Chain A
Amino acid sequence: MRVLSGMWSGIAVVVFLLIVIGGSITLTAMTSTSVSLSSALADPYLIGVIRFTIGQAVLSTVISVGLALIVTRALARRSKFPGRRLLISLMGLPVVMPVIVAIFGITAVFGKSGLLNQLLSLFGMEQSFTVYGLTGILLAHTFFNLPLTIRLLLPAWESISRENWRLASMLGMSSRQLFRLLEWPSISDRLPGICLIVFLLCFTSFAVVLTLGGGPAATTIEVAIYQALRYDFELSQAALLAFLQLSLCTVAALGLLKWFRVFAATSGRKVDASDRPDIHSTTGKAIDVFCIGICAIFLLLPIAMIFYSGIRGPIYKVISDPILWLASGRSLIIAILATVISMLLAMGLIKSVRFLREKTKQQKGAELALTIGSMTVAIPPMVIGTGFFLIALRTHTLAHATLIMIALVNAVMVLPYLIRSISPPYIQAGEQYYKLCRHLGLSGLQRFRLIDWPIIRKPTAFAVGLGGALSFGDMGVAALFDTDGQVTLPVMLYHQLGAYQFDEASVTAVFLLLLCVAFFWAINQIIGR
């Protein structure tokens, strides 16, 4: 009974997740029975979609991770230069930036009338670069995943000890030998996990493919689900695609189990690289400056263009439009609801995880519970969205329950961020102060208020702010539920881009970006202080 009383919150969360995810999958599977899997797999269109989905994800992963290895090494070698910290902080922006806003920025640089084509025209090459199709998808995926990969790789690079660098100096190792004997062993255990997470993100990418795909030739499964539901109203086809998407993601997700363990074991210790023997050569310096410079331009130029275009757009016209404020209100409601739900889910789960570790010493059970909560990262939002969409259709609640359903899907999607941010300090505080708390009689809310909350407050604020900002800027599920009068701000921006209202879109993009940042900032001020 005592074990059950400490476990009830975690059991409730796991049951909730199983109902939401399992229910969506079951409903999807039930609907897809009307289509034979074998006949569907013989459909050339479907085979083309699967092939393109996997192909673009593999290419995006190879490009993003390959470039990240080069740039991260340059950043690791140059551990001290003016603006380094700012640059790394700014690399976090594409991670939280609404996808549709980033696409606007990318189009402004690489699009038909973008900066690049303007530059090329100076050399007589008129509009030779096109951002639509596979090129645009790869470009956008690199824009999002290059900084993410750099931020994941850099701590591993920086954890190589000073003694190791000094020893390498004494032994006279060349730059190539340093990479082979010191750097590669430090990063290689992380690399498969990073590749897998980037692959999954690209595999389930929706807004990028929808806006930059440019036609049926460049359609992924995620977009095909959307098209089947929204344009063709082929419920069985959508359900089958969702089921296919989930099956492929599950295979990839199994690999993530190892990735989570590898990341949990990292210390986060940062070592100054000034003892590296290969940082003084002029060629090395030139290569590093070039790599970091190109990367900074590639990432920061689209962001700068968003603001530049926004400032020059019809600001008054856009912000005086009541639809903008209604859409903002809806996005805000979704973000707040998703934040509250994900926070409750995360706290419920990690409370039980700590109980398992403290009271019953069930390390494996605790790890399993954490993994269940984190594995939602591998479940495509469109799969859960499809399930919810089908429920809404059957219960005729599409017009009424839209916001709650979008919030619920987003809450489940951002749950891994919260769990992975809050659980390490929360569990560590439990292990560190378990005896002292028991000795002093600190328990329940009193222990949470005095001991746990001050320790987890900052990581919680960051994770909740990040999750809220992502939910605020979500376009995937929101587009699926895009019914009359129910648009969110990202969907509104998508409509403006689709209607070639680029001037209005430029203002809306900045507005959306600023609201996301404001939401993130407000959460950090309210919770983090």
Chain B
Amino acid sequence: MNALSVKNLCLKFGDWTLEVSIELAAGRCLGIIGPSGAGKSTLLSLIAGFETPYSGDIFIDAQSINDLEPSHRPLTFMFQENNLFNHLTLYENIALGCHPGLKLSQVDQHQIEIALSATELSSIATRKPSDVSGGERQRAALARCLCQKQPLLLLDEPFASLDPRLRSQMHQLVNVLRKQHGLTVLVVSHMPHEVAHIADELLFMQDGKIKEHGDPDQLLENPIHPQLINYLEFTANR
């Protein structure tokens, strides 16, 4: 059974139109690549419920989520920025994943400890986001996603601002946690070769349309679509 099913999803911004259909099996990781303005982040916003589609349907585990509020959708989201509330500690930020009012049960507290341990943040949990490094902030956001215990994880270039070494570490951490928790992952990236390390499938978008979708190695080694060829050349030369 497919964990995520996006059918004929359509959104219009003036002359620009996004038209997408995706099927993704449970536990798989789909990397979404493409130039700026391709519609990658918009697609994730539509799935998360921050944008309302013009037409089309979104199913998670065969249940339509079109009419659900963002907080009621069975998914978690890591944004490009502002993943943490700056005035709360890392622990409190992570705990928000268990209860939005921070009313924590024993089970919740145990869950937070596990997430802190998995992301190696236990020793700095009482610090605020401004007192930790960029990598630690993103690990905290990931820990909160784990606490939300949702089957689908959406990553909208959350590691773009990190240096290549940290970015690679974060991708590895996502991969490990995905396998441990059986998560289905959609990850948007500007770095095709980096995301290919953790993605089971790769999808290339341009101008709001899916131009190519397939195995990462196949897509990167033998691209068919001329726009993908150009894009890969451009990113390789950057």
State the CA gap A454–B69 with chains docked (Å).
26
Residue B172 lies at the interface, judged by CB distance under 8 Å to chain A: no
Give B81's nearest chain A residue, CB to CB. Answer: A432
Within 8 Å CB of B71, what residues of A?
438-442
The reply to whether B82 and A442 form a contact with Cβ atoms under 8 Å apart is no
Within 8 Å CB of B226, what residues of A?
none
Which of B24-32, B93-101, B176-184, B188-196 interfaces with chain A? B93-101
State the CA gap A432–B79 with chains docked (Å).
11
Within 8 Å CB of B100, what residues of A?
440-442, 446, 450
Within 8 Å CB of A440, what residues of B?
71, 96-97, 100
Residue A451 lies at the interface, judged by CB distance under 8 Å to chain B: yes
A445 to chain B, nearest CB (A): 9
Give A453's nearest chain B residue, CB to CB. Answer: B87
State the CA gap A328–B232 with chains docked (Å).
76
Interface residues of A in 309-361 (CB under 8 A from B): none
Asked whether A438 and B79 contact (CB < 8 A) given A446-B101, A451-B85, A455-B87, the answer is no
Residue B72 lies at the interface, judged by CB distance under 8 Å to chain A: yes
Q: Select the residue from B49, B96, B97 with max chain A CB neighbours within 10 A.
A: B96
Within 8 Å CB of A449, what residues of B?
101
Residue A179 lies at the interface, judged by CB distance under 8 Å to chain B: no
Within 8 Å CB of B79, what residues of A?
435-436
Residue B104 lies at the interface, judged by CB distance under 8 Å to chain A: no
Within 8 Å CB of B48, what residues of A?
439
Quick one: which of B69, B85, B87, B97 contacts A438, CB cutoff 8 A? B69
The reply to whether A432 and B82 form a contact with Cβ atoms under 8 Å apart is yes
Query: Interface of chain B, helix or strand or loop or mixed?
Result: loop
Give A455's nearest chain B residue, CB to CB. Answer: B87
Give B75's nearest chain A residue, CB to CB. Answer: A439
Residue A433 lies at the interface, judged by CB distance under 8 Å to chain B: yes
Residue B54 lies at the interface, judged by CB distance under 8 Å to chain A: no
State the CA gap A451–B50 with chains docked (Å).
19
The reply to whether A439 and B77 form a contact with Cβ atoms under 8 Å apart is yes
Within 8 Å CB of B88, what residues of A?
450, 454
Give B97's nearest chain A residue, CB to CB. Answer: A440
Within 8 Å CB of A439, what residues of B?
48, 70-71, 76-77
Within 8 Å CB of B87, what residues of A?
454-455
Give B103's nearest chain A residue, CB to CB. Answer: A446
Within 8 Å CB of B227, what residues of A?
none
State the CA gap A446–B100 with chains docked (Å).
8
Query: Interface of chain A, helix or strand or loop or mixed?
Result: helix
State the CA gap A454–B72 with chains docked (Å).
26
Asked whether A441 and B85 contact (CB < 8 A) given A435-B79, A446-B101, A450-B101, the answer is no
Quick one: which of B69, B72, B85, B102 contacts A436, CB cutoff 8 A? B85
The reply to whether A450 and B102 form a contact with Cβ atoms under 8 Å apart is yes
State the CA gap A441–B102 with chains docked (Å).
12
A414-453 interface code vs B (CB 8 A; 1 in, 0 out): 0000000000000000001101101111100010011100
The reply to whether A436 and B50 form a contact with Cβ atoms under 8 Å apart is no
State the CA gap A446–B103 with chains docked (Å).
11
Within 8 Å CB of A446, what residues of B?
100-101
B133 to chain A, nearest CB (A): 20
Interface residues of A in 501-520 (CB under 8 A from B): none
Give A436's nearest chain B residue, CB to CB. Answer: B82
B130 to chain A, nearest CB (A): 13
State the CA gap A165–B198 with chains docked (Å).
49
B106 to chain A, nearest CB (A): 21
State the CA gap A341–B160 with chains docked (Å).
47
Residue B2 lies at the interface, judged by CB distance under 8 Å to chain A: no
Residue B175 lies at the interface, judged by CB distance under 8 Å to chain A: no
Residue B42 lies at the interface, judged by CB distance under 8 Å to chain A: no
Residue B83 lies at the interface, judged by CB distance under 8 Å to chain A: yes
The reply to whether A436 and B101 form a contact with Cβ atoms under 8 Å apart is no
State the CA gap A446–B72 with chains docked (Å).
16
State the CA gap A140–B178 with chains docked (Å).
70
B35-78 interface code vs A (CB 8 A; 1 in, 0 out): 00000000000001110000000000000000001111000110
Within 8 Å CB of B102, what residues of A?
450
The reply to whether A438 and B82 form a contact with Cβ atoms under 8 Å apart is no
Within 8 Å CB of A451, what residues of B?
85
Within 8 Å CB of B97, what residues of A?
440
Asked whether A433 and B77 contact (CB < 8 A) given A439-B71, A441-B72, A442-B96, the answer is no
B184-213 interface code vs A (CB 8 A; 1 in, 0 out): 000000000000000000000000000000
A106 to chain B, nearest CB (A): 43
The reply to whether A433 and B96 form a contact with Cβ atoms under 8 Å apart is no
Give A432's nearest chain B residue, CB to CB. Answer: B82
Q: Select the residue from A440, A446, A450, A451 with max chain B CB neighbours within 10 A.
A: A440
Interface residues of A in 454-493 (CB under 8 A from B): 454-455
A325 to chain B, nearest CB (A): 41
Within 8 Å CB of A450, what residues of B?
85, 88, 96, 100-102
Q: Select the residue from B49, B50, B72, B100 with max chain A CB neighbours within 10 A.
A: B100
Quick one: which of A432, A433, A438, A454 contacts B70, CB cutoff 8 A? A438
State the CA gap A439–B48 with chains docked (Å).
8
Quick one: which of A433, A441, A454 contacts B82, CB cutoff 8 A? A433
State the CA gap A433–B101 with chains docked (Å).
16
Within 8 Å CB of A433, what residues of B?
82, 85
Within 8 Å CB of A442, what residues of B?
71, 96, 100
A433 to chain B, nearest CB (A): 6
B139 to chain A, nearest CB (A): 17
State the CA gap A284–B50 with chains docked (Å).
58
A164-208 interface code vs B (CB 8 A; 1 in, 0 out): 000000000000000000000000000000000000000000000
State the CA gap A440–B72 with chains docked (Å).
9
Give A457's nearest chain B residue, CB to CB. Answer: B87
Within 8 Å CB of B49, what residues of A?
438
B112 to chain A, nearest CB (A): 14
Within 8 Å CB of A441, what residues of B?
69-72, 100
Q: Select the residue from A432, A435, A438, A454 with max chain B CB neighbours within 10 A.
A: A435
Report, nearest first, the 7 A-B pairs whose CB atoms are least far apart: A441-B71, A438-B70, A454-B87, A442-B100, A441-B100, A446-B101, A439-B70
Which B residues fall within an 8 A CB radius of A? Answer: 48-50, 69-72, 76-77, 79, 82-83, 85, 87-88, 96-97, 100-102
**Known contacts A438-B49, A439-B48, A446-B101; can you find 7 more A-B pairs with CB under 8 A?**
A435-B79, A436-B79, A436-B82, A436-B83, A442-B71, A450-B88, A454-B88
Which A residues fall within an 8 A CB radius of B? Answer: 432-433, 435-436, 438-442, 446, 449-451, 454-455
Q: Would you give 24 A-B contacts (Cβ < 8 Å), ordered by A?
A: A435-B70, A435-B79, A436-B83, A436-B85, A438-B49, A438-B69, A438-B71, A439-B48, A439-B70, A439-B71, A439-B76, A439-B77, A440-B97, A441-B69, A441-B71, A441-B72, A441-B100, A446-B100, A446-B101, A449-B101, A450-B96, A450-B101, A454-B87, A455-B87
